[in-house]
Structure 1
């Protein structure tokens, strides 16, 4: 097996500081700004989860300026991962740092929201997915398979958000940025799904539930929370739902034409808040997501 390349915390921090701070894009139309900023909420979540899970430290250690003074995440910790999975997740973490840098170099951005990345937060997601408490509570940091299942929860949501955002954008710079972000987020989701698909029939200990059933339940939960129909699919589906209506295997999720599903910001908030409402913070965002779009839903809530 090839050796895994890693950087020390100090050398990584220096490397990130020396990276260009400008995405070198022309001005973004005012109508695009909020749409381009909103994904920062998911990018912060992914950056912190992948950094902490693979390295045991977060954004404040390697690129504190990107947090823009936002509070550090709650409950995140280093996961017990084998060298291969740790290497993959660390690569994801570095990619998410790049995404934060690219967005914040294109638009002003906003501070990192308070994130709850505790094991209990992920356990709540799994309990909701299965409609009952799992015993013992699901712990994403306990081993590589659990971490991959927890990772299944996150990048796909951002992916569908980028697909939904792209048609609404007016400026060339905005479209180029979102297309670039979508490409890598899609790649991350594909890697996670492929790794899990290779273990689809494996039973997750100690629950005796297969990996495929976990992904089905998580996807079904996201469909229910999003309240906008079918936009999520597990790794194994009825053949009629597979590619060209001929495959039970579903390593990539897509509609009847194998095109990615799209979600609106409110659908994403309903999912990541964990309660099916864009107006009631919770889940991974105890105080709500940041940015004008997310905060506008909270303001509407206070008006009633």
Structure 2
């Protein structure tokens, strides 16, 4: 256990010392955008979550449920049904349907955007996890192979949308938009809490066949996201040093939050740096090989 605490502290210390510029802007402030564009931007995450959850639980995605929502955008690459235990499969199926509702709510309120091309292949997740731990895992990490792997892969996605919603609300111009995004945030927060709780139950277990515990994987992913976003610690794994725990009294960290146990916030560029996996809102990759859609995401690509 002492080794795990040391590993956690080391990862979080590394985050503080990362370069402030990684092949792109290190700007951490808000973007200038219309209310409509701010509300539409999260569709890039909502589509991603819908496709990942639905395909993993059911073996088919959004096109089998609400094809019009895609607005002509291409289906994802590499998504497949996951080998999940019955309880987890039911949870993920529910999450998938929730994401369909989120898409409907945003599209109804401000209009939609074409679904971007997503790469949800095992290879994309393997690259993400290799980058997180700092070396090539053998065999390559496969999110679809079992329940623990899938929950770790899920850990990598909803939280990014959650902190994006927190960062968006203060800049929305009217009550209707703030109410919508707050409601979306509530469910995204719940999804993240469920995933983190299920993982925390196995925090000290080794993930087969790697000599890495579940908690160590979450700390590595969170540290990578902090590094890619380049704006300080706004993401924490399941086990943290006391200085980062709630009221500095606990090393458990089922909910990631700041020193007052308030949710962290991220801006749209920070979100793009993470989901592209490149550390740059100008350079697509990762889950979005051609970049996101909507005016905010495309504005950065137009300047690349």
Q: TM-score by structure 1 length?
A: 0.89
Unaligned runs of 5+ in 1: 1-29
Q: Secondary structure at the match of 2:109?
A: coil
Once the two structures are TM-superposed, the CA of residue 300 in structure 1 deviates from its matched residue by 1.3
How far apart, CA to CA, are the structure 1 residues paired with 2:228 and 2:176? 32
User: Shift of residue 208 of structure 1?
Assistant: 1.9
Q: Residues 21-42 of structure 1, C-alpha deviation per residue, up to 9 Å, x if partnerless?
A: xxxxxxxxx9310000000000
**Aligned-CA RMSD value:** 0.7
Q: Distance in 2 between matches of 1:294 and 1:275?
A: 14
Report SS of the residue matched to 2:110. coil
- Secondary structure of residue in 1 paired with 2:34: helix
C-alpha deviation, 1:201, in angstroms:
0.4
Which of 47, 51, 75 does residue 44 from structure 1 map onto? 47
Cα deviation code 1:74-113 (max 9, x no counterpart): 0000000011000000000000000000000001120100
Q: How many residues align?
A: 272
What is aligned with 2:123?
Answer: 120
Residue 241 (1) aligns with residue 254 (2): no
Distance of 2:63 and 2:246 partners within structure 1: 42
Query: Does the alignment pair 1:152 with 2:169?
Result: no
**Do the aligned residues in 1 keep the contact of 2:56 with 2:80 (CA within 8 Å)?**
yes
Q: Deviations over 1:53-79 (max 9, x none)?
A: 000000001110111110000000000
> Helix, strand or coil: the match of 1:105?
helix
2:105 equivalent in structure 1: 102
Pairing of 1:47-58 with structure 2 (within 5 A): 47-58=50-61
Q: 1:108 and 1:56 mapped to 2: Cα distance?
A: 28
Question: Take 1:48 and 1:208, find their aligned partners in 2: how far apart are those partners?
Answer: 30
Which is bigger in relative contact order (C-alpha 8 A, separation at least 6)?
2
Q: 1:284 aligns with which of 280, 287, 297?
A: 287
Gaps in structure 2 of 5+ consecutive residues: 1-32
Determine the C-alpha separation between the residues in 1 that align with 2:138 and 2:293: 34
- The partner residue of 1:257 within 247, 256, 260 is 260
Q: Tell me which residue corresponds to 2:168.
A: 165
User: Which secondary structure state, in structure 1, belongs to the residue aligned with residue 77 of structure 2?
Assistant: coil
1:181 counterpart = 2:184: yes
| Cα distance in 1 between the residues matched to 2:57 and 2:222 | 24
The Cα shift of 1:217 comes to 0.1
Shift of 1:120: 0.4
* Structure 2: distance between partners of 1:130 and 1:149: 13
Q: Does 1:222 align with 2:222?
A: no
TM-score (structure 2 length as normaliser): 0.89
Of the candidates 269, 273, 288, which is equivalent to residue 270 of structure 1? 273
Query: Where does residue 70 of structure 1 map in the other structure?
Result: 73
Whole-Å Cα distance in 2 between the matches of residues 159 and 51 of structure 1?
Answer: 19
